[in-house]
């Protein structure tokens, strides 16, 4: 008997189940029927790096468990994503390999899709897309023009790193110790026109909505609060030279009378009025060219410029005015009171001001009015253009007569030449007359296309939208398709906690698109009704990196242990809010559990038909079966609650406990009667079928195969994976009797 028992062979089982899913189109997005909840589960959008890493496996294992759970509950589920395929990493990888980014990205994407399928993730693969596809970036261009028209996108000077030898601007990660990554020559900073995304109009609403986001976990809310950087305090109107008004903020309104100087942000809207003196203007310019982003932000080292001017409180008493980027780092592009007596940073600054601070206002008998309540946000507009080849072309032209002119929407897409093999030097787009030369849409004269491309952060602003639109309709109806109303907002975003910036900006743009029109049905302007952020996967307490030689390769793990074991291990190892320190221990645990369950279930299946049928024995053990029924009921309730909260580590723990309970039940029956009666066996198999069903979200291949072998199948032989409503009364198969029913016999 024992010799015929199939041993647990994940490779075989997983291949069979994956083939069955593909054949049945099991994960295609359904059209929701009346009364059915439409649930869009949004995983993170991977960069086309070429390899899934353990962080992806964690992300998708959580999202997949949730998607499978909601499907099992009878909800219509959309589980789809696209690749974040434009950007510097792909361009640099292509330069390194002497290939075209377009080819590199395609190869990486195909490989990653194969890895995802091998892991059994239930994505609707037919909806996958690449942000670098023409059909896709055409809409990034549409979004750019739409935001430009609404005043949410604007052009201004910014500081960028420039390599004279390579004749190109460099991204921060291409500058190593002040030298170019390619030629190792020193890099210098230059000012050049850059495109920016405006955030200010929606900061307050992003802040206010945080109170109402019910299904957001604490980690995700924390990142949103951090990015906002809200300061509560008060503001006062001061008077400068020639009666010029200046509103100043302080987070210490009660101590405003102690103020001794005023600090202006270099990005203050009226900064030029305060830096009118040529010497001051020159210093400000030098500060900007030095790049205040990269300058020391600490109060002991941050640059400070003296405007030479002073401002007075309404009751009199002058305060010297200085300019410093420390204001941006603390309160955004505003003006602030310097109050050394209550503020440590101000105290450090006061000691090194280019001109002495005045005595405290209060000490001079100045009768200062009470500051009115005010609030500031540190979050500020950011640059969205890059001087790189591999990105969405910015759809504007430069005309000598008309200046910067947007391309007409009907002319989109402005195509990116795909046959480019960048060398890292120069700007490939500036060397392509077929791209560069065009005519002005306004005057018809000769014009030049913009050679900057959009940073992939811009593509990401709407990367959560396309999956909700059937691929065939994306060309015409990307932002107007009726399905958008069904799937948006996404019920749950599952992403790493380094995605906070993306999510913040997506929340801003959703509100802009609501006010502009396309997303008017999203009343609160939120793209995600729920959000779960998880920490990263580390090894030996350190970040995984090639340099440290501690990278764990998911492919190797899957080849050695099977997808179910890897998925179960990564879910079990830690709750989402904790960094997951990868160890062999979790893998051993998952492997032992799945192998143990498989063997135990098969022993039970084999033993059942030979069991005697004795009414007296059955009656004698009825109370033990009843207890098993209660354990099952309890386990089901807990696992259901864990899944609703996406606390997969708890759900897995509760599933392993349920198996222990089932084994305990068998021991108790054997202790009382020496053997299991037919009724006892049926109750045991029923409990195992319940366990298999609640395991489907975590170890889908093995759990489904077990259901098949337990006979829990429909008329086509497909496993019955519906989520049990109750362990007592919902057995999942028409013929199967629940433990409670057996107990009553
Ligand atoms: Zn260089
Ligand atoms: Zn023109």
Return the closest-CA partner of residue 58 out of 703, 505, 467, 498: 498
Compute the distance from residue 454 Cα to the ligand 2 centre, in Å: 23
Closest CA to 425 of 385, 383, 389: 389
> 219-253 burial string, b = 16+ CB within 10 Å, else e?
bbbebbeebbbbbebbbbebebeeeeebebbbbbb
Query: What letter would DSSP give residue 367?
Result: -
Q: How far is CA 39 from CA 487, 504, 522, in A?
A: 7, 22, 16
* Tokens found for residue 555: 């492919």
Distance set, CA 495 to CA 84, 491, 712 (Å): 14, 13, 34
Banded model confidence at residue 736, pLDDT cuts 50, 70, 90: very low
Ligand 2 centre from 506 Cα, in Å?
34
Instruction: Identify the CA nearest to 292 among candidates 434, 121, 429, 158.
Output: 158
CA distance 128 to 17: 21
pLDDT for the residue 164 = 87
Q: Within its chain, how far is the Cα of 455 from the centroid?
A: 17
As a whole number, mean pLDDT of residues 90-100 equals 90
Q: pTM (2 decimals)?
A: 0.92
- Nearest residue to 265 via CA among 339, 347, 332: 332
For ligand 1, a single-atom ion, which residues have Cβ within 5 Å? 163, 165-166, 180, 182-183
DSSP letter assigned to residue 637: H
Calculate how far, in angstroms, residue 436's C-alpha sits from the geometric centre of ligand 1.
24
Q: What is the pLDDT of residue 732?
A: 40
**Distance of alpha carbon 241 from alpha carbon 274, whole angstroms:** 9
Which ligand has an atom closest to residue 184 CA?
Answer: 1
How far apart are the CA of 444 and the centre of ligand 2, in A? Answer: 6
Unique residue bearing structure tokens 């000769």: 446
In sequence order, the 6+-apart residues with CB closer than 8 A to the CB of 484 are 465, 468, 469, 519, 521
What does 452-464 look like in DSSP terms, one character per residue? -EE-HHHHHTTTT
User: CA-CA distances (angstroms) from residue 130 to 105, 113, 127, 339, 654?
Assistant: 9, 12, 10, 52, 39
Answer yes or no: are the C-beta atoms of 686 and 731 closer than 8 Å.
yes
User: What's the pLDDT score for residue 738?
Assistant: 39
Q: Is 46 helix (H, G, I), strand (E, B) or coil?
A: coil
Sign, CA torsion 22/26/27/33? positive
Q: How far is the CA of 84 from the centre of ligand 1 (A)?
A: 27
Distance CA 648, CA 574 (A): 9
Residue-averaged pLDDT of the chain: 92
Q: Directed axis angle between helix 678-695 and helix 622-644, to 10°?
A: 0
Asked whether residue 445 carries a pLDDT value surpassing 50, the answer given is yes
Pairing between strand 403-406 and 396-399? antiparallel
For range 438-445, the mean pLDDT = 97
Confidence grade of residue 629 (pLDDT, cut at 50, 70, 90): very high
pLDDT (tens digit, 9 = 90+) per residue, 339-379? 999 999 999 999 999 999 988 888 787 778 889 999 999 99
d(CA 233, CA 23): 62
Ligand 1 centre and the CA of 170: distance in Å?
Answer: 9
pLDDT score of 735 more than 70: no
Q: How far is the CA of 397 from the centre of ligand 2 (A)?
A: 9
Determine the 3-state secondary structure of 606 from DSSP. Answer: helix
Q: Which pLDDT score, from 0 to 100, does residue 290 have?
A: 66
**Per-residue pLDDT tens digits for 98-114:** 999 999 999 999 999 99
Q: How far is the CA of 501 from the centre of ligand 1 (A)?
A: 30
Cα atoms in the 13 Å half-sphere on the side-chain side of 148: 19
Look at residues 235, 277, 225, 297 and name the one whose alpha carbon lies nearest to residue 507: 225
| H-state helical runs in 539-677 | 554-561, 563-573, 584-607, 615-620, 622-644, 648-673
pLDDT tens figures, 49-79? 889 999 999 999 999 999 999 999 999 999 9
Confidence band, pLDDT 50/70/90 cuts, at residue 5 = low
Beta strands, E only, 102-149: 129-130
The pLDDT of residue 522 is 98
Which tops the pLDDT comparison, 550 or 488? 488
Q: Is 244 helix (H, G, I), strand (E, B) or coil?
A: coil
Q: If you measure from the C-alpha of residue 185 to the centroid of ligand 1, how many angstroms do you get, rounded to a whole number? A: 6
The terminus-to-terminus CA distance of the chain in angstroms comes to 31
What does the radius of gyration of the chain's CA atoms come to, in whole angstroms?
A: 32
* Residue written as token pair 């395929």: 85
Q: Which residues surround ligand 2, an ion (CB under 5 A)?
A: 399, 401-402, 440, 442-443
Of 53, 183, 150, 41, which is closest to residue 108 (Cα–Cα)?
Answer: 53
Q: Which two tokens stand for residue 25?
A: 């189109």
Tokens of 446: 């000769």
Q: Could you give the count of Cα atoms lying within 13 Å of 344 in the half-sphere of its Cβ? A: 2
Tokens 């009015």, residue located: 369
Classified as helix, coil or strand, 41 is: strand
What is the DSSP secondary structure assignment for residue 700, as one 8-state letter?
H
Query: 197: buried, middle or exposed (CB in 10 Å: 19+, 13-18, 0-12)?
Result: buried
- Write out pLDDT tens, residues 585-600: 999 999 999 999 999 9
Q: How far is the CA of 179 from the centre of ligand 1 (A)?
A: 8
Report pLDDT for 742. Answer: 35
Alpha carbon distance 17, 563 (integer Å): 12
pLDDT at 427 over 80: yes
Ligand nearest to the CA of 183: 1
Structure confidence at residue 442 (pLDDT): 97
Distance 482 CA to ligand 1 centre (A): 49
Task: Say which ligand is closest to the CA of 399.
Answer: 2
Closest listed ligand to the CA of 175: 1
For ligand 1, the distance from its centroid to the CA atom of residue 104, given in whole angstroms, is 23
Does residue 492 contact residue 532 with C-beta atoms inside 8 Å? yes
| Residue pLDDT, tens place only, 544-586 | 887 788 888 999 999 999 999 999 999 999 999 999 999 899 9
| Inter-residue contact 484 to 38 (CB < 8 Å) | no
pLDDT of amino acid 110: 96
Q: Edge to edge, what strands does the sheet with 188-197 contain? A: 168-170, 153-163, 188-197, 382-383
Distance 184 CA to ligand 1 centre (A): 6
DSSP string over 288-351: HHT-TTTS--STTTS--EEEEEEEE-TTS-EEEEEE-THHHHHHSSSEEEE-TTT-HHHHHHHT
Q: Which two tokens stand for residue 291?
A: 């790049």
C-alpha of residue 473 to centroid of ligand 2, in Å:
34
> Positive or negative CA dihedral for 129, 131, 132, 133?
positive
Pairing of strands 215-216, 530-534: parallel
Q: What's the rounded Cα separation, in Å, for the pair 272 and 261? A: 19
Burial of 494 (0-12, 13-18, 19+ CB in 10 A): buried
What tokens appear for 5 in the block? 């028992």
In this prediction, residues 520-545 reach a mean pLDDT of 93
Confidence check: pLDDT of 294 > 70: no
Band of residue 220 on the pLDDT scale cut at 50, 70, 90: very high
Q: What is the 696 CA–ligand 1 centroid distance (Å)?
A: 53
Tell me, what's the pLDDT at 4? 54
What is the per-residue pLDDT for 728?
A: 62
**pLDDT greater than 50 at residue 729:** no
Query: What distances in angstroms separate CA 268 from CA 109, 248, 278, 382, one per listed residue?
Result: 44, 11, 18, 15
CA 96: distance to chain centroid?
A: 28
From the CA of 397, which ligand is nearest?
2
The continuous run of DSSP H or E covering 157 comes out as strand 153-163
């Amino acid at each position: 008997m024992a010799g015929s028992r199939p041993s647990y062979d994940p490779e075989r089982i997983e291949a069979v189940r994956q083939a069955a899913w593909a054949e049945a189109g099991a994960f295609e997005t359904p059209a929701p029927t009346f009364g059915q909840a439409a649930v869009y589960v949004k995983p993170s959008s991977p960069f086309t790096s070429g390899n899934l890493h353990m962080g992806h496996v964690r992300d998708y294992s959580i999202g997949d468990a949730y998607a499978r759970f909601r499907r099992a509950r009878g909800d219509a589920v959309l589980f789809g994503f696209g690749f974040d395929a434009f950007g510097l990493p792909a361009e640099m990888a292509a330069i390194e390999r002497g290939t075209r980014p377009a080819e590199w990205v395609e190869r990486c994407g195909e490989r990653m899709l194969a890895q995802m399928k091998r892991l059994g993730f239930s994505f609707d693969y037919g909806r996958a897309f690449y942000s670098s596809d023409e059909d896709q970036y055409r809409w990034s261009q549409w979004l750019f023009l739409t935001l430009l028209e609404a005043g949410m996108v604007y052009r201004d000077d910014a500081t960028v790193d420039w390599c004279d030898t390579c004749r190109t601007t460099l991204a921060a990660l291409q500058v190593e110790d002040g030298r170019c990554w390619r030629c190792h020559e020193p890099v210098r900073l230059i000012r050049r026109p850059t495109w920016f995304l405006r955030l200010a109009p929606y900061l307050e609403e992003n802040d206010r909505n945080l109170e109402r986001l019910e299904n957001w976990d604490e980690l995700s809310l924390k990142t949103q609060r951090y990015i906002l950087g809200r300061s509560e305090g008060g503001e006062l109107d001061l008077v400068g030279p020639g009666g010029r008004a200046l509103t100043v903020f302080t987070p210490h309104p009660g101590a405003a009378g102690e103020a001794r100087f005023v600090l202006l942000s270099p990005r203050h809207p009226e900064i030029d009025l305060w830096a009118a003196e040529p010497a001051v203007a020159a210093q400000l310019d030098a500060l900007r060219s030095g790049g205040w982003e990269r300058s020391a932000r600490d109060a002991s080292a941050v640059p400070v410029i003296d405007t030479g001017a002073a401002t007075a409180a309404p009751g009199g008493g002058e305060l010297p005015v200085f300019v410093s980027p420390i204001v941006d780092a603390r309160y955004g592009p505003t003006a602030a009171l310097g109050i050394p007596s209550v503020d440590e940073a101000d105290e450090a600054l006061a000691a090194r001001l280019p001109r002495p601070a005045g005595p405290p206002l209060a000490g001079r008998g100045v009768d200062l009015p009470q500051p009115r309540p005010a609030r500031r946000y540190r979050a500020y507009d950011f640059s969205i253009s890059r001087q790189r080849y591999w990105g969405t072309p910015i759809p504007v032209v430069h005309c000598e007569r008309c200046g910067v002119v947007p391309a007409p929407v009907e002319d989109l897409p402005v195509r990116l030449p795909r046959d480019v093999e960048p060398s890292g030097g120069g700007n490939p787009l500036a060397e392509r007359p077929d791209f560069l030369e065009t005519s002005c849409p306004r005057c018809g004269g000769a014009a030049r296309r913009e050679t900057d491309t959009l940073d992939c952060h811009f593509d990401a602003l709407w990367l959560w939208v396309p999956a909700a639109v059937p691929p065939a309709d994306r060309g015409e109806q990307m932002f107007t398709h009726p399905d958008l109303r069904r799937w948006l907002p996404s019920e749950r975003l599952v992403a790493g906690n380094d995605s906070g910036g993306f999510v913040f900006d997506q929340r801003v743009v959703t509100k802009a698109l609501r006010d502009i029109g396309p997303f008017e049905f999203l009343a609160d302007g939120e793209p995600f009704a729920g959000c779960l952020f998880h920490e990263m996967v580390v090894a030996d307490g350190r970040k995984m990196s090639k340099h440290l030689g501690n990278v764990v390769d998911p492919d190797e793990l899957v080849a050695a242990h099977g997808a179910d074991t890897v998925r179960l291990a990564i879910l079990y190892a830690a709750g989402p809010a904790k960094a997951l320190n990868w160890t062999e221990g979790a893998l051993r645990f998952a492997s032992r559990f799945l192998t143990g369950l498989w063997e135990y279930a098969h022993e039970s299946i084999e033993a059942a038909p030979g069991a005697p049928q004795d009414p007296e024995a059955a009656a004698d053990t009825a109370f033990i079966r009843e207890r098993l029924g209660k354990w099952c009921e309890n386990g089901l309730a807990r696992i259901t609650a864990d899944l609703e909260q996406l606390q997969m580590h708890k759900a897995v723990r509760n599933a392993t406990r349920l198996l222990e309970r089932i084994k305990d039940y068998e021991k108790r029956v054997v202790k009382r009667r020496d053997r299991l009666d037919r009724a006892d066996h049926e109750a045991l198999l029923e409990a195992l079928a319940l366990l298999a069903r609640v395991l489907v979200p975590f170890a889908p291949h093995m759990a489904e195969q077990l259901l098949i072998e337990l006979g829990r199948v429909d008329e086509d032989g497909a496993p019955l994976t519906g989520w049990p409503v109750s362990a007592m009364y919902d057995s999942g198969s028409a013929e199967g009797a629940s433990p409670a029913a057996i107990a009553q016999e």
